[in-house]
Amino acid sequence: MSLRFARLFTATLIGLSASATVLAAGPQLVWRGDVTTARGVVTDVAKAWEKSGKGKIELQPFNTASGIDAVVKGSADLAGSARPAVGAAEQSLTFTPVAWDALVMVTYPSNPVSNITLKQLHEIYMGHITNWKELGGNDAPINLYAVASPGDGVEYSLRRLLFGRGNQPVAAPRLYVNVAKLEEGVTLDKQGLGASTLAGASSNKKVKILSIDGVAPSVSTVSSGTYPLYTELYLVTNQNDPKSAEVKEFISFVTSSQGSSLLRSHSLVPYADGMALASKDAARRAAIASAVGTRANAGQAMTTPTAVAAAPSAASVAKETALAKAQVASKGAKAAKETKGSVAATTAEPSKFARVVASVSTTARMGFAGVRSEAFTMSDNAKVGGRFAKVHGDAVTVRGKPSAKAIAAAKPDASEKSTAVATPKVAEAKPAKAAPKAAAEKSSASRTYKVAAGDTLYSIAKKNAIDVNKLRAMNGLKDNNVRLGQVLKVGAR
């Protein structure tokens, strides 16, 4: 061996040793979670993290439930999830959104079907559409695939959009342990159909991604919100982790310019780039609910799917109004001295939903001075021309003294209305002058409310007659999660 070669060989060894020392710097972090977040968010970012000499990250991609459970128990420092926190056990963890991804439906490449509507997708999962010919395809059964874990991020987020709740049972007999295995099953089945994400499936040439209502999933359609089935991807952490400082530094690295560039390379939208999507979320959910016929759900509250009532004719509305008047009259109010009515004008919204609020107060004899009624209407003005699509009525009678009961008691359940629609203030009828002060004070909402078992943000808003958006804003809540024993402001101080 020549002297020159020996020197070069020695220098190379020293360089490799120095590189190994740099890569070994910093503690090792353990990440475990769903394949979706592993493929789109963590893998390449972890390599860049290690290359920068900040430490090593051990990746354990499997599924959502296993990752979150590992963070709870302390066997992992981070988890990946395509859904927010669900259930009491996860409330102590921190779910940090880092990117936006598209929930996509994948099928066999040669399948002639290229587009599917939200309504058709809903009906497939319910088991009402079972043949591809109903979608314009071949006369063959639809083999629907799903991930077995009930807490899987992709499945949970998709079902929450389609049904208003993430734990909705569906007609999917073919179950897999995670999205990657589901995609493998679809590549072998010409009649297969299943849910994945754009970040994972876009690079898989063995599956075909379907458009939804004529909109193909892409970075641009997700960024603009025109593709309806988008979702957040989260990194899940535990503040009690002994390596929490390093964990926070890694999350900052993910959201940095370098990390964001890597996310975009996987067809993801960095979370900061899609902040407008968060403000559009309620309108998006309302539009999906209208399309598929379920109740809109903007948060964690579980709502039982129900068919949307068809818009009644003007004659039926008139009949209901007459019946309501007859019921009030039957209580004994023989002569009303004064009748006041007010109708708030319909307000057009981006979601195309219009709301008409009307209230009537009647001043009669002392025994019926507290008779009030209210009609609340929500309709799709673009489709039915302002006719009533839903009417909720309520009449309250208090004998012997005027009533100061809040009209809010007649409002519909918060889970039935879109939180994207700006709620016009209802003009409450003024109580009779003789109304005692104590009765007026009793009608006001409590100033604070302590969260009890079974409470959701929506049920609390309903109990205290307050709009759920206002309740969230008053308490500085970033999402709809509440904790047992938490004290919430429910009224102005």
We report the CATH number of the domain holding residue 133 as 3.40.190.10
Cβ proximity of 302 and 369 under 8 Å: no
Q: What's the whole-number mean pLDDT along residues 188-212?
A: 95
pTM value is 0.57
Examine the domain organization and report whether 139 and 224 are in the same domain. Answer: yes
The residue ranking higher by pLDDT, 289 or 447, is 289
Stretch (H or E) spanning 489: strand 487-489
The residue ranking higher by pLDDT, 283 or 16, is 283
Domain holding 470: CATH number? Answer: 3.10.350.10
Listed residue (469, 101, 486, 484) closest to 283, CA to CA: 469
Rounded to the nearest 5 degrees, what angle is found at the Cα of 43, between the Cα atoms of 42 and 47? 110
pLDDT per residue as tens digits for the range 387-418: 434 433 333 333 444 444 433 433 444 333 33
Please give the tally of structural domains in the chain.
4
Per-range mean pLDDT, top range of 45-59, 317-331, 437-451: 45-59
Flag whether pLDDT at 337 surpasses 60: no
Q: What's the whole-number mean pLDDT along residues 443-449?
A: 62
Q: How confident is the model at residue 476 (pLDDT cuts 50, 70, 90)?
A: confident
Listed range (51-55, 120-124, 134-138, 418-422) with the worst mean pLDDT: 418-422
Collect all residues with Cβ–Cβ distance below 8 Å to 228 and sequence separation of at least 6.
Answer: 118, 161, 212, 213, 215, 284, 287, 288
Q: What's the whole-number mean pLDDT along residues 286-300?
A: 76
Examine the domain organization and report whether 86 and 105 are in the same domain. Answer: no
Q: What's the whole-number mean pLDDT along residues 366-387?
A: 39
Examine the domain organization and report whether 329 and 394 are in the same domain. Answer: yes
According to DSSP, residue 429 is labeled: P
Percent with pLDDT over 90 in the chain: 45
Task: For 243-258, give the DSSP string.
Answer: THHHHHHHHHHHTSHH
* 117 within domain boundaries: yes
Examine the domain organization and report whether 372 and 257 are in the same domain. Answer: no
The residue ranking higher by pLDDT, 465 or 72, is 72
Examine the domain organization and report whether 366 and 322 are in the same domain. Answer: yes
Flag whether pLDDT at 204 surpasses 50: yes
Please give the structure tokens belonging to residue 97. Answer: 């959104």
Flag whether pLDDT at 326 surpasses 60: no
* 306 within domain boundaries: no
Examine the domain organization and report whether 456 and 419 are in the same domain. Answer: no
Examine the domain organization and report whether 288 and 219 are in the same domain. Answer: yes
Q: How confident is the model at residue 245 (pLDDT cuts 50, 70, 90)?
A: very high
* 298 within domain boundaries: no
Examine the domain organization and report whether 150 and 208 are in the same domain. Answer: yes
Residue 7 to residue 13: CA distance in whole angstroms: 10
Task: For 58-83, give the DSSP string.
Answer: EEEEE-HHHHHHHHHHTS-SEEEESS
Q: Provide the domain limits for residue 331.
A: 314-435
* 308 within domain boundaries: no
Query: Distances from the Cα of 223 to the Cαs of 266, 298, 311, in angstroms?
Result: 14, 19, 34
Listed residue (219, 234, 226) closest to 273, CA to CA: 219
Listed range (8-17, 197-206, 294-303, 418-427) with the worst mean pLDDT: 418-427
The residue ranking higher by pLDDT, 419 or 38, is 38
Q: What's the whole-number mean pLDDT along residues 455-463?
A: 77
